[in-house]
């Protein structure tokens, strides 16, 4: 530990001196403080300063003059360098009051899981078993850029068990979260000057990914039955259509079977593909999870899933279930993007799934999220009575709270953030603006019941 601390201090002193050379605090030709004096000033040993001076001399920043000391060399540029370090004397200062408040804020972020319930003990045990059992080849590059076969087989079984979704492991491509999946699909499917139809409202990052290709975004409204299939574009044919049929984000509706069939008829006639985002539908609070749209047409529907909601976001593993004709093109794009997702993490997740931990964790979290959901509904109705309308709460990790005739817009969000409460106006997720200024998307996944009570009571002062 002491060695690590000394290495960290060495890097800090190195950056401290180099920053000041670039800033001009140590001018060209000027003598640096003696190693003993600078060591006392910064609270480190003289030997450490000697080592840093030698390093900076070797890199051409300084020069030593026999009997005279150490001087700043002319490095031939006055271009400023971004600061790499703060003053060493401030490095160990406690977090500011603002930072402390940020850490203790109550965040109603939608579709965000409980971080306090991450199954760390079981995950670490699975990881240790993988590191113990993994062959030496696991530490090299993967031969199959679609991902570890063990994980793809585990995902196949998981989808069959949880969703009743039939596919082959060969159709599954492991990605760095759902975000990379959508990025790869946007590059593959959207042609120059093309267009993408998507639900409105939708997740902002989805809109941004597809808009970054230069595609025209064609918004399609949603209602209590999901995407309004009769409002799909007729003047032009989009290359793909983005939907969340099992649990619409953010309004929580389920796409009816008649609209699913209507949507499938549309893509068959236009040659488009459907991108089905199934981000949190395992957490359904009455009945079974809704069946995937993909099972109705495995050749026109590209299914995307993630482990960010049912495990933890920093895992950064998701997957695509691709139609047969798209498997190789997606894998080739994946190869160009990043070669592969971390092999040992994939193997750990595969073992975690195969040992039944994921399914048991989902069942446990359904109970916890169900209690938080019920508590949020209870506190909202007790606080606002008949002035609030609640919807979109049948599944997932958030609900919709609407106050007819009242504003729940970004200004309200700014005011509440000053009181360390984070809320998410529905208007934030819209493509066509000024439709949902009375609604908030309120997540309950990563807030405790006491935080829910405090947050809603504070919210009542502003709505």
Instruction: Give the single-character DSSP code of 222.
Output: E
| Residue appearing with tokens 């059992």 | 133
CATH class of 2-93: mainly alpha
Distance, CA of 261 to CA of 278 (rounded, Å):
18
Give yes or no for a contact between 401 and 442, defined as CB atoms under 8 angstroms apart. yes
- State whether the Cα torsion 304-307-313-314 is positive or negative: negative
Cα R_g (the chain), whole angstroms: 27
Give yes or no for a contact between 334 and 117, defined as CB atoms under 8 angstroms apart. no
pLDDT of 81 reads 52
Distance, CA of 455 to CA of 106 (rounded, Å):
7
256: phi then psi, degrees, rounded to nearest 5: -70, 160
Domain boundaries, the chain: 2-93, 106-116+360-459, 121-356
What percentage of the chain's residues is helix, strand, coil (to nearest 5)? Answer: 45, 15, 40
CATH class of 106-116+360-459: alpha beta
CATH class of 121-356: alpha beta
Distance, CA of 362 to CA of 357 (rounded, Å):
9
pLDDT in tens, the chain (463 residues): 344 555 677 888 888 888 888 777 788 888 888 888 888 888 888 888 888 888 888 888 888 888 788 998 887 755 555 554 444 444 444 444 444 444 468 999 998 999 999 999 999 999 999 999 988 888 888 788 899 999 999 999 999 888 888 899 999 999 999 999 999 999 999 988 899 999 999 999 999 999 999 999 999 999 999 999 999 999 889 999 999 999 899 998 989 999 999 999 999 999 999 999 988 878 888 777 788 899 899 899 999 999 999 999 999 999 999 999 999 999 999 998 887 889 999 999 999 999 999 999 999 999 999 999 999 999 999 999 999 999 988 888 999 999 998 887 777 788 888 888 999 999 899 998 888 888 999 999 999 999 999 999 999 988 7
Nearest residue to 392 via CA among 162, 110, 197 = 110
pLDDT of 94 reads 47
Q: Is 174 exposed, middle or buried (0-12, 13-18, 19+ CB in 10 A)?
A: buried
Nearest residue to 275 via CA among 331, 334, 225, 207 = 207
Strands 195-200 and 69-72: unpaired
Q: Do 2-93 and 121-356 have matching folds? A: no
> 3-state class of 107 per DSSP?
strand
pLDDT of 200 reads 93
Q: Is 192 exposed, middle or buried (0-12, 13-18, 19+ CB in 10 A)?
A: exposed
pLDDT of 82 reads 52
The structure tokens listed for 291 are 């069946």
Distance, CA of 305 to CA of 418 (rounded, Å):
35
Task: Using the CB atoms, write b or e for 2-30: b if 16+ within 10 Å.
Answer: eeeeeeebbebbbbbbbbebbeeebeeee
Residues whose CB falls within 8 Å of the CB of residue 38, separated by 6 or more in sequence, listed in order? 32, 49
| Residue appearing with tokens 């639900």 | 199
pLDDT of 60 reads 85
């Amino acid at each position: 530990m002491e060695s690590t601390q000394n290495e960290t201090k060495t890097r800090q002193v190195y950056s401290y001196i180099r920053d000041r050379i670039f800033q001009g605090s140590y001018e060209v030709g000027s003598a640096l403080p003696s190693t003993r004096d600078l060591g006392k000033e910064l609270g480190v040993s003289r030997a450490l300063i000697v080592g840093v001076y030698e390093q900076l001399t070797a890199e051409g920043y300084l020069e030593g003059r026999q009997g005279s000391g150490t001087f700043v060399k002319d490095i031939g540029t006055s271009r400023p360098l971004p600061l790499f370090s703060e003053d060493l004397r401030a490095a160990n200062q406690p977090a500011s009051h603002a930072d402390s408040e940020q850490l203790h804020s109550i965040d109603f972020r939608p579709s965000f899981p409980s971080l306090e319930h991450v199954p760390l003990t079981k995950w670490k045990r699975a990881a240790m078993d993988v590191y113990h059992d993994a062959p030496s080849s696991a530490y090299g590059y993967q031969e199959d850029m679609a991902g570890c076969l063990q994980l793809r087989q585990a995902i196949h079984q998981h989808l069959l068990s949880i969703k009743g979704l039939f596919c082959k492991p060969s159709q599954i491509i492991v990605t760095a979260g759902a975000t990379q999946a959508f990025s790869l699909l946007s590059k593959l499917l959207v042609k120059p000057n093309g267009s993408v139809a998507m639900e409105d409202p939708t997740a902002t990052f989805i809109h941004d990914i597809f808009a970054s290709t230069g595609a025209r975004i064609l918004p399609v409204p949603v209602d209590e039955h999901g995407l309004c299939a009769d409002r799909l574009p007729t003047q032009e044919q989009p290359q793909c259509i983005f939907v969340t049929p099992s649990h619409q984000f953010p309004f929580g509706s389920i796409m009816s079977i008649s609209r699913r069939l209507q949507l499938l008829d549309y893509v068959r006639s236009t040659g488009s593909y459907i991108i089905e985002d199934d981000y949190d539908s395992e957490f359904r609070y009455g009945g079974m999870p809704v069946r995937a749209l993909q099972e109705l047409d495995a050749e026109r529907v590209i299914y995307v899933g993630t482990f960010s909601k049912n495990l933890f976001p920093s895992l950064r593993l998701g997957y695509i279930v691709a139609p047969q004709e798209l498997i190789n093109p997606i894998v080739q794009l994946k190869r160009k993007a990043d070669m592969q997702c971390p092999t040992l993490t994939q193997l750990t997740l595969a073992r975690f799934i195969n040992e039944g931990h994921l399914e048991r964790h989902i069942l446990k979290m359904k109970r916890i999220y169900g209690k938080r959901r019920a508590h949020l509904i209870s506190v909202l109705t007790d606080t606002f009575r008949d002035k609030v309308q609640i919807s979109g709460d049948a599944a997932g990790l958030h609900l919709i709270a609407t106050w007819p005739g009242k504003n729940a817009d970004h200004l309200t969000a700014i005011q509440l953030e000053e009181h360390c409460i984070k809320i998410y106006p529905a208007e934030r997720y819209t493509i066509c603006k000024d439709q949902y200024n009375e609604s908030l998307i309120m997540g309950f996944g990563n807030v405790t019941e006491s935080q829910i009570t405090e947050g809603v009571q504070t919210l009542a002062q502003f709505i």
